[in-house]
Structure 1
Amino acid sequence: MDTNRLSDTLAKALNQQMTNEAHNAQIYLAYAAWASSKGYDGIANFMFRHSSEERNHMMKFLEYILKRGATVTVAEIPHPGPNPSNVNDCFEKVFQSEVENTKSIYDIVNLSLEEKDWATWNFMQWFVKEQTEEETMALDLLSKIKIAGGAAAKDDALYALDNDMGKTPDDATLAQDTSVQNP
């Protein structure tokens, strides 16, 4: 008896997203190693934590595919690309990676809507919110490096930024979670 409740198209898209999440984990891991090698231990710690978070996202997709009775396809993870040239470049690359991931998430949401696969649509809503947090976090990083001087940031500003990054929480405050009392 066939217990698969995912279309071939959705199963393929979910498997691809699982690989995307693994790729994002590798990107954060590579940037963490790069930051650590440059002496930016606070930035490295932040990036290591986000690498772990991306691996957790990968596992959510893997479990969902299995629980829907479809086949998980573990594919090769693309190379994370070249190391950043500086902290500003690192944060720009993080932002770009998150934007690309958001587009992929939205494609799956649209596909599940078209197919009227409400279980997958519902599952993906967690990722829609998560990507809003991830993009907000990446924009916050870009704002911090801009204040520090961007690509031309001086060592004292980068030292302060690195210290701040070691204490930066993993979650960003979203617009929908703010109020007049809690801006």
Structure 2
Amino acid sequence: MDKHVYELLNDQINKEFYSAYLYMSFADYYEEEGLSGFANWYMIQAAEERDHALIFRKYLLDNSCPIKLLAIDQPDKTFASHLEPLEASLEHEKYVTSLINDIYGAAHDVKDYRTMKFLDWFIEEQLEEEANAEDMITKMKLFGGDAKALYDLDKDFAARAYSVPTPLAAK
């Protein structure tokens, strides 16, 4: 595997674990605010991000590449409203999309078609992640100012259940 592609893939493991930490911090914020449904949503997001890190790890191992685990930064965001974590989530998902695109571009440059194929699932996943984040922002803007509507929205998010990502299920 090309050294640069390898480094980007290995670094993505760290970025995915950071995403899990970040989303756990969002869940903590919502728990403290009494919105356990939103907290549930973000704990599931955290689990998905952890799983994404494990998918990248497995891909590198399957390609006989060593794993170099890096320190995970502490999330440093604070929030003054229920909307702010949702907006931070969208911003973060756009950042992750740019990381995936960078890896794809590097793989394309060296004709690493296997890595490009591997990343196809993540490209689709990022489309879904950004759409979900935008939907949550829209709903909070529409309903977040009304206590009853916010309660109903929180109940909706409490119903979200974790499911194993496709690449992990296939292994």
TM-score, length of structure 1 as denominator length: 0.84
The match for 1:110 is: 105
- Cα distance in 1 for partners of 2:106, 2:60 equals 15
Q: 1:158 aligns with which of 137, 150, 155?
A: 150
Q: Counterpart in 1 of 2:53?
A: 58
Paired residue for 1:35, among 30, 35, 51? 30
Give the unaligned 5+ runs of structure 1: 1-5, 172-183
Count of equivalent residues: 163
Distance 1:64 1:40 in 2: 37
Greater relative contact order (Cα < 8 A, sep 6+):
2
| Aligned pairs for 1:169-180 within 5 A | none
Q: Is the 8 A contact 1:21 1:54 kept in 2?
A: yes
Output the CA distance in 2 between the equivalents of 1:110 and 1:169: 33
Distance 2:162 2:83 in 1: 19
Amino acid corresponding to residue 23 of structure 2 in structure 1 = Y
Q: What's the CA shift string for 1:13-58, capped at 9, x where partnerless? A: 0011111111111111111111111110100011111100100000
Separation (CA, whole Å) in 2 of partners of 1:109 and 1:139: 24
Q: Does the 8 Å CA contact 2:107/2:113 hold for their aligned counterparts?
A: yes
Give the structure with higher Rg (CA).
1
Aligned-residue CA RMSD (Å):
1.5
Residue 99 in structure 1 maps to residue 98 in structure 2: no
C-alpha deviations, 1:133-172, integer Å up to 9, x for none?
A: 10011011111111115xxx2433322221222125679x
Q: Does residue 84 of structure 2 align to residue 89 of structure 1?
A: yes
Structure 2 alignment gaps of length 5 or more:
164-171
User: What is residue 14 of structure 2 aligned with on the other side?
Assistant: 19
